[in-house]
Chains A and B, each alone.
Chain A
């Protein structure tokens, strides 16, 4: 369910690319400092977006530092450091922990269970440090699991549940922006959930797993996704974001379709399967 909220690199200027990369590296560094080096394997672009978005809104004091790391051992890279990188790192780990547990429960992936165990201590710390976010995430995921079990056919219900989870993650502080942020995060979460369901549909049907779109005609998918993003943009426009607007617009209007476009191209290239082959 992760890695959808990403920029379209082709449409970024060199400065914007560097800026985005510094944001990404900032989250990676924060993960290492807060949750241990190994936690960096959970780094996602979605939480990079959270850093970018909340930093643009709250404009906290951001130190731009420079340093080397394992992936870039020779050329030092710029990275951000502010309160939000630390917050997003914790949220990143919290989501990753649940995702790993989910992989273990659904597919019995032993590696996932092993990784989840690695992060258990951090998970417990974060649960205490951010009780509000923890409670909502835990609640929503339990509810989602119930919906999956019951085979809910109304995709709005499951998407709404995941949306509430994402909405809560966007509420870094309870202040005058909280309500608008929650609404924006919720709309974005709904889109992510449905996009994920679109891309996994065939696989889920074959493996007899739950998919919220199983009874919806796939001819409608693009319209549904556009509608959900349209809602998300409506909420976005209510927030006073001026800093990094180009970059954020790039992600919300274009980059967010990256996985969808990749998958679409893969499917058009795919050789015909048995029941598609002409006789």
Chain B
């Protein structure tokens, strides 16, 4: 979704400061977030519009990735997340040519992805206004490669929702999801905890009380 006037959606003037933008966003989220408005389709629609507007205003600057902060490049490289485990998502990419012909705007994105310039690919993607299924698909690949697995999972899912019969999208989603699915199976065989926390906390609470009352002497 692309908003022609994102500031208007947030009820702000284009001169609003960063602080005002964040404040306005949180106020609107309080009103329209789907988790606080169960089953209200209108609110959900409004919220995704607000998210898109906020994202648009904020991504006026360069796309950030999780390996930006703190770590030196070398460290980030070593720790870099590879959801594909050496697997090349473009390896046996059959539908690739036809897709490319339909959507030439993704050509530079594909070149960047192939060369491993994921940040650049994301930058090009952020400037594309028509966010169709291929957009979400390429975005998921770039995000996954750079370690942004939460966004990657969401975008790969969105691509499938937009084009449910596309096998490539399905395959990408399966690759991204793989370790989570394996974990879930093992976790389920262990069984989920059913105890309430009260019992566990009791001992600790007692210690707290004693300490508060008798201070350092105890």
The judgment on whether A and B are partners is: yes
The total number of A-B Cβ pairs within 8 Å is: 203
User: Given A40-B207, A156-B148, A226-B181, A218 and B34 touching (CB < 8 A)?
Assistant: yes
B interface secondary structure, majority? helix
Total interface residues on B, CB under 8 Å, equals 74
User: Given A139-B70, A259-B197, A230 and B179 touching (CB < 8 A)?
Assistant: yes
A156 touches B218 (CB 8 A): no
Q: Please name all residues of chain A whose beta carbon is closer than 8 Å to the beta carbon of B35 when the two chains form the complex.
A: 201-202, 205, 218
Q: Please name all residues of chain B whose beta carbon is closer than 8 Å to the beta carbon of A139 when the two chains form the complex.
A: 70
A24 → chain B closest CB, angstroms: 9
Task: Give the CA-CA distance A184 to B154 in the complex, in Å.
Answer: 24
B70 touches A254 (CB 8 A): no
B152 → chain A closest CB, angstroms: 8
Task: Give the CA-CA distance A10 to B186 in the complex, in Å.
Answer: 17
Interface-forming stretch among A57-65, A82-90, A97-105, A157-165?
A157-165
A208 touches B27 (CB 8 A): yes
Q: Please name all residues of chain B whose beta carbon is closer than 8 Å to the beta carbon of A10 when the two chains form the complex.
A: 191, 193-195
Task: Give the CA-CA distance A47 to B55 in the complex, in Å.
Answer: 37
A254 touches B207 (CB 8 A): no
A226 → chain B closest CB, angstroms: 4
Determine the interface band of chain A, counting residues with CB < 8 A from chain B.
35 or more
Most buried by B among A157, A224, A231: A157
User: Given A41-B211, A258-B195, A161 and B184 touching (CB < 8 A)?
Assistant: no
**A6-64 with Cβ < 8 A to chain B:** 6, 8-11, 28, 36-38, 40-41, 43
* Partner-A contacts on B (CB < 8 A): 18-19, 21-23, 25-27, 29-30, 33-40, 51, 54-55, 58, 64-71, 78-79, 81, 143, 147-151, 153-154, 157, 176-184, 186-187, 190-197, 200, 203-204, 206-208, 210-212, 215-218
* Partner-B contacts on A (CB < 8 A): 6, 8-11, 28, 36-38, 40-41, 43, 69-72, 139-140, 143, 149-157, 159-161, 164, 179, 183, 186, 194, 201-202, 205-206, 208-210, 214-218, 220, 223-224, 226-231, 233-234, 249-250, 253-255, 257-259, 261-262, 275-276
Given contacts A157-B148, A194-B150, A250-B190, could you give 17 more A-B pairs where the C-beta distance is less than 8 Å? A8-B191, A9-B193, A36-B216, A37-B216, A41-B208, A70-B211, A70-B218, A71-B204, A151-B58, A153-B55, A153-B58, A154-B148, A154-B151, A217-B154, A220-B153, A226-B187, A275-B36
